[in-house]
């Protein structure tokens, strides 16, 4: 039987997270991800991570959060909405919705740090670490285990009431909490994401060949040129890609965020001609503290030219 004090602590902790602006909160027990170990090993062996060599590092830490935080007992998974009220125009260089506003790493880390400090004030000194798409943490798998959604055929976490346009974050800590139960898979027979992917990156349901994903090609791949096999296939996407989310039926339930830091930057309204006329110094100014900084000017210029020169 679960103690009343443990129930109260878990509820209090979740209430604090909701008050901090997170949309959903779930708890998992810190343990080795036994089911994920062979899947990750096979994914790496097949080279589906492309040139993201860092994915080969810290294999044990990816699978066991207790190697990241001494004495870890719980993983608190949190989701933060980034769905914009208005999408881009269809006749321009496309930017993934998560990159419309300021860099989410900075925005969410600040919220997590403040939240962790609140936890310590309420529950005593806590040994914990915060993670936002950083360090070797299998965030989607932990979010799934904590009941925040299921991993869809596009490999993204999907929430039954709100879809998949969410950033995921974690607090791994040494306090005991009541774990939540996973939910079922509601993809059913739908294959819209697989059918819509123009580069065949979804090798099979629930399996992503990241080396073919437009997001990988336009962000992670640092080569001077995008491989010729993808010419004419990126459908105007020059930074990331939302195709598999746009066609997902569950995203009809997506609601606009209310985070001022994610207010669309001016470059969202740029025409293709605006992008082509852009100079490096101006690019640095307009993308400062946004996700687009990651590609740097050389990468973004490569993506834009590839998009413009190889459209069918």
pLDDT at 2 over 60: no
The per-residue pLDDT for range 39-65, each reduced to its tens digit, is 999 999 999 999 999 999 999 999 999
Q: Residues 248, 218, 306, CA angle at the centre, nearest 5°? A: 110
| Structure confidence at residue 1 (pLDDT) | 45
**Residue 103 has which token pair?**
């860099």
The per-residue pLDDT for range 194-225, each reduced to its tens digit, is 999 999 999 899 999 999 999 999 999 999 99
Mean pLDDT for the stretch of residues 133-140 = 91
The per-residue pLDDT for range 108-130, each reduced to its tens digit, is 999 999 999 999 999 998 999 99
DSSP secondary structure string, 115-157?
Answer: HHHHHHHHHS---EEEESS-SS--HHHHHHHTTS-EE-TTSSE
Q: Per the structure, how many domains does the chain have? A: 1
Per-residue exposure over 176-196, b if at least 16 CB sit within 10 Å of its own CB, e if not: ebbbbebbeeebeebebbbeb
The per-residue pLDDT for range 91-104, each reduced to its tens digit, is 899 999 999 999 99
The per-residue pLDDT for range 262-309, each reduced to its tens digit, is 999 999 999 999 999 999 999 999 999 999 999 999 999 999 999 998
Cα distance between residue 120 and residue 104, in whole Å? 24
The per-residue pLDDT for range 218-227, each reduced to its tens digit, is 999 999 999 9
Are the beta carbons of 180 and 28 closer than 8 angstroms? yes
The per-residue pLDDT for range 10-20, each reduced to its tens digit, is 999 999 999 99
The per-residue pLDDT for range 221-268, each reduced to its tens digit, is 999 999 999 999 999 999 999 999 999 999 999 999 999 999 999 999
Cα distance between residue 187 and residue 184, in whole Å? 9
Q: Residues 267, 270, 272, CA angle at the centre, nearest 5°? A: 130
Domain that holds residue 305: 1-312
| Structure confidence at residue 251 (pLDDT) | 98
Residues marked as catalytic: 133
Sheet with 128-131: strands ordered across: 24-29, 74-81, 166-173, 128-131
For residue 252, give every residue at least 6 positions away whose Cβ sits within 8 Å of its Cβ, in sequence order, or none: 163
The per-residue pLDDT for range 21-39, each reduced to its tens digit, is 999 999 999 999 999 999 9
Percent of residues, the chain, with pLDDT higher than 90:
92
């Amino acid at each position: 039987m679960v103690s009343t004090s443990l129930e109260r602590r878990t509820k209090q902790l979740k209430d604090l997270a909701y008050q901090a602006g997170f949309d959903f909160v779930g708890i998992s027990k810190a343990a080795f991800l036994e089911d994920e170990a062979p899947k990750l090993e096979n994914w790496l062996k097949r080279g589906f991570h492309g040139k993201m060599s860092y994915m080969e590092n810290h294999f044990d830490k990816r699978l066991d959060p207790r190697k990241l935080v001494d004495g870890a007992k719980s993983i608190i998974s949190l989701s933060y909405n980034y769905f914009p009220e208005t999408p881009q125009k269809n006749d321009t260089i496309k930017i993934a919705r998560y990159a419309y506003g300021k860099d989410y790493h900075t925005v969410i880390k600040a919220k997590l740090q403040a939240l962790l400090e609140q936890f310590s004030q309420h529950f005593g000194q806590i040994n914990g670490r915060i993670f936002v798409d950083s360090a070797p943490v299998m965030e989607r798998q932990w979010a799934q285990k904590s009941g925040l959604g299921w991993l869809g055929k596009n490999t993204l976490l999907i929430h039954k009431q709100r879809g998949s346009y969410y950033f995921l974050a974690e607090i791994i800590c040494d306090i005991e909490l009541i774990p939540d139960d996973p939910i079922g898979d509601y993809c059913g027979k739908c294959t819209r994401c697989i059918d819509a992917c123009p580069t065949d990156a979804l090798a099979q349901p629930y399996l992503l060949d990241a080396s073919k994903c437009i997001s990988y090609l336009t962000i992670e791949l640092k080569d001077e040129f995008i491989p010729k096999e993808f010419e004419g296939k990126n459908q105007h996407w020059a930074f990331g890609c939302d195709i598999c989310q746009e066609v997902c039926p569950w995203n009809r339930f997506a609601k606009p965020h209310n985070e001022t830091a994610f207010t669309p930057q001016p470059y969202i309204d740029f025409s293709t001609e605006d992008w082509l006329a852009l100079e490096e110094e101006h690019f640095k100014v307009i993308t400062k503290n946004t996700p687009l900084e990651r590609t740097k000017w050389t990468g973004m210029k490569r993506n834009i030219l590839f998009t413009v020169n190889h459209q069918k």
